[in-house]
Amino acid sequence: MKTSDLILKLNKIIGKIGILASVVITLATGFVVGFYYEKLQTSMGPTPQNELKTLENTSVAINERAELLLIDRKSGDFIIYEGKVGQTIFDLYAAKTYYKSVEKP
């Protein structure tokens, strides 16, 4: 066998191995992206509220840093909102209460 024939056969084998390797890498990458995309999508998405927050099952408080706290009366779990949210809700509630008090019967 001549070396040029050997080199041609070696190039063909390496070319086939390269194509096979690229197909395997592409399939593996697609599988990994598909597998982790589902996990990332569910972990980063917004969580729906399962229960309506009413005054019967929730207490509302504002702490010393002007943060709004929604406290579940049954379990004692609470959610803290930053000060601007608490201030906005308080202003809306105060305005509603004020306008109710000045309405003419």
Residues 26-76: pLDDT tens digits?
999 999 888 888 887 777 766 656 667 787 888 888 888 878 888 888 888
Whether 75 contacts 59, CB under 8 Å:
no
pTM of the complete model: 0.41
Whether 73 contacts 66, CB under 8 Å:
no
Instruction: For residue 80, list its beta bridge partners.
Output: 69
